[in-house]
Copies of this chain bind each other. A is one copy, B any other.
Amino acid sequence: MENTQYNGRQRATTAEQSAAGHGAAAAPPDPARRQQTATERRRRELLEAADRVVLRDGPDASMNAIAAEAGITKPILYRHFGDKGGLYRALAVRHTDALLDGLRAALDSPVPRRDRVEATLDTYLAAIETRPQVYRFLMHPADEKPDEKPGADKDAGFDVGRHSAPLLRRLGEELAEVIGERLDLGPGGEELARVWGHGIVGMMHAAGDWWLRERPCSRAQLVQHLADLLWGRLAAAGDRLGGPGF
């Protein structure tokens, strides 16, 4: 009976099997398939509710709150997503997919490489700039914000940090792939591309995070600075005073 496992995928699979089971792949009605799409639609609605609540409350969003926003109660959330991590993951892939679409577009634009790199950086930074709440939710664990009456505990909150690494890793892998297929890096280029993919993503992320918090300069300027860094200006810069070995 598998009664300890609730999740959408499990049920969807069952539905598909039964659909394939009684042979008919009839076009218009097909109850099983219709049921499946209904489930998926519900799932999307729930995800949108979760999105709203996360955007509003930041990472201090409890399952109860999300369920309330969706107009239902906790257990059905658990039926759909298994656990909080499942919900989070579903939410995350939505946003990451959207971000990745933008990045791929920038990465594929038919302009010189430097411009392409700048466009990619700018796309990422624009994304985190225009939707900082989403960004914080995805990447950031509720940095201490000094509100909330002392009675309420400021703990809990989505366990977010626990999943930021996977996101960065996914971005890194994607970038690595693009680098690998577009640049001729000689022998061992595969490996090099992967290192660079992850490295560049990390650079973008850390710099973006800091920038978003301190806003020390314009976005365009940040893009220039980072592109300069990638273009080897670190190697080219002059020393300031001259220690022993310069």
A205 touches B202 (CB 8 A): yes
A201: contacting residue among B85, B110, B169, B206, CB under 8 A: B206
Known: A172-B210, A195-B226; 17 extra A-B contacts, CB below 8 A, are A110-B243, A142-B162, A172-B206, A182-B243, A184-B237, A184-B240, A191-B216, A192-B228, A195-B217, A198-B207, A199-B204, A201-B206, A205-B206, A230-B232, A230-B234, A232-B232, A232-B236
Whole-angstrom CA separation of A238 from B235 in the bound complex: 20
Question: 0/1 per residue, A131-151, Cβ < 8 Å to B?
Answer: 000000000111110000010
A199 touches B226 (CB 8 A): yes
A163 interface contact, C-beta 8 A: yes
Q: Give chain A's interface residue range (CB within 8 Å of chain B).
A: 35 or more
**Which residues from B are CB-within-8-Å of A233?**
232
A181 touches B4 (CB 8 A): no
Whole-angstrom CA separation of A212 from B236 in the bound complex: 30
**Which residues from B are CB-within-8-Å of A243?**
108, 110, 182
B240 touches A110 (CB 8 A): no
A199 touches B194 (CB 8 A): no
A202 touches B206 (CB 8 A): yes
A200: contacting residue among B112, B203, B236, CB under 8 A: B203
